């Protein structure tokens, strides 16, 4: 089933043919990946024309030869066991759902061939460790987009979104304030026209705690922001096509109340894929 992709990573083709519907390729890893899947599931639960998750390209975080800038990004805060759990959770989910799975170089022939044959309508990136080449930017007819957990319009880009926000001194009365933006992809990291963004999200919890491990901030952002942004983008693309002005999402009263009472714990989401997706979908439904 599995074949090597150049000198690192894996390629596991889908057992399905090309399915009808709006086809999505996710370039994503760990909890952000499953937040995107939760948004796709939620849309498909309410619409007749399906979104099809056709392929997933992810970071080969367990492969020491992988060139994914792991030591510069949030991966540096994972334990080896957490890296292994994250990779296997993504791999197993794709095999179970018969979704094409790639964890090698984005330039590797298996992924390039798949892109040419499958012709995804949308490419969406979230926590992916490789610079995305031009062919991925221009191939999808509905566009290529990236989710980034910082205020890019204030210059917060790159692999340390939470620490850079703190060091830049972006804060309000409730503590350091971040946001999540979804922008068009271009040839530079975390750059391109911002399409949709969240209101500010505090890094601190309701007790004023700022966690030592940035992964806990990342999980909070994934839970409350990523599915909302991705769902808003995908629905807008389906309804209006790719030409629309930037917009902002808001939170429902239920979700605002949940944010106000949010407390950090030691749990960062290392649950089965189905459980994690349901948790993300639950937050989306409370936000409806």
User: Nearest 5°: phi and psi at 197?
Assistant: -145, 160
Whether pLDDT at 6 is above 50: yes
Which helix (H) or strand (E) covers residue 136, if one does?
Answer: helix 134-138
Mean pLDDT, residues 34-48: 94
Would strands 10-12 and 3-4 be described as parallel, antiparallel, or unpaired?
Answer: antiparallel
Can you give the pLDDT at residue 4? 46
Give pLDDT, residue 5. Answer: 47
The alpha carbon of 5 is separated from its chain's Cα centroid by a whole number of angstroms, namely 22
Structure tokens at 73: 């990004």
pLDDT (tens digit per residue) in 199-235: 888 888 888 888 888 888 889 988 999 999 999 999 9
What is the C-alpha to C-alpha distance for residues 174 and 171, in angstroms, rounded to an integer? 8
Q: What is the CATH number of the domain that holds 106?
A: 3.40.50.170
User: What does the pLDDT look like over 251-261, one tens digit per residue?
Assistant: 999 999 999 99
> 10 Å Cβ neighbour count for 220?
21
234 neighbors 120 (Cβ within 8 angstroms): no
In the predicted model, what is the mean pLDDT of residues 108-124? 93
More confident site: 48 or 156: 48
Task: Please check the confidence at residue 161 and state whether its pLDDT lies above 80.
Answer: no
Cα-Cα-Cα-Cα torsion 61, 64, 67, 69, nearest 10 degrees, comes to 60
| Residue 176, pLDDT score | 62
Q: Please give the residue that has the higher pLDDT: either 37 or 74.
A: 37
pLDDT at 159 over 70: no
pLDDT at 264 over 50: yes
Q: What are phi and psi of 123, to 5 degrees?
A: -115, 130
Q: What is the pLDDT of residue 2?
A: 47
pLDDT of res. 53 = 96
Distance CA 105, CA 102 (A): 8
Q: Mean pLDDT throughout 85-90?
A: 95
Residue percentage of the chain with pLDDT more than 70: 87
State the pLDDT confidence band at 186, using cuts at 50, 70 and 90. Answer: confident
Q: Concatenated DSSP letters for 209-262?
A: ---SSHHHHHHHHHHHTHHHHHHHHHHHHHHH-S----EE----HHHHHHHHT-
CA neighbor of 126 nearest in space, from 161, 95, 82? 161
Mean pLDDT on 168-175: 57
Joined tokens for residue 244: 């629309």
- pLDDT at site 114: 93
Give the pLDDT confidence score for residue 193 in this predicted structure.
Answer: 85
- For residues 165 and 79, the model is more confident at 79
Range of the domain at 127: 3-286
Domain total of the chain: 1
């Amino acid at each position: 089933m599995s074949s090597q992709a150049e000198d690192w990573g894996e390629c596991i083709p889908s057992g399905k043919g090309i399915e009808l519907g709006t086809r999505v390729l996710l370039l994503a890893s760990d909890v952000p990946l499953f937040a995107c899947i939760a948004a796709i599931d939620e849309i498909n639960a309410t619409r007749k024309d399906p979104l099809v998750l056709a392929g997933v390209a992810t970071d080969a975080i367990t492969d020491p030869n992988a060139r994914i800038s792991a030591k510069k990004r949030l991966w540096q805060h994972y334990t080896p066991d957490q890296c292994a759990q994250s990779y296997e959770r993504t791999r197993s989910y794709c095999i179970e759902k018969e979704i094409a799975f790639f964890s090698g170089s984005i330039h590797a022939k298996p992924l390039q061939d798949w892109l040419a044959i499958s012709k995804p309508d949308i490419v969406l990136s979230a926590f992916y460790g490789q610079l995305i080449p031009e062919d991925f930017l221009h191939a999808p007819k509905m566009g290529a987009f990236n989710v980034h957990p910082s205020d890019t319009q204030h210059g917060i880009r790159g692999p340390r979104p939470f620490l850079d926000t703190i060091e830049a001194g972006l804060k309000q009365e409730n503590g350091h304030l971040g946001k999540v933006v979804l922008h068009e992809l271009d040839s530079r990291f975390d750059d391109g026209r911002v399409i949709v963004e969240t209101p500010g999200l505090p890094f601190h919890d309701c007790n004023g705690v700022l966690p030592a491990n940035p992964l806990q901030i990342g999980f909070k952002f994934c839970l409350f922001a990523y599915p909302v942004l991705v769902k808003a983008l995908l629905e807008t693309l389906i309804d209006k096509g790719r030409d629309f002005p930037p917009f902002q999402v808001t939170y429902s009263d239920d979700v605002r109340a949940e944010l106000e009472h949010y407390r950090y714990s030691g749990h960062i989401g290392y649950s089965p894929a189905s459980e994690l997706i349901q948790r993300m979908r639950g937050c989306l439904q409370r936000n409806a």
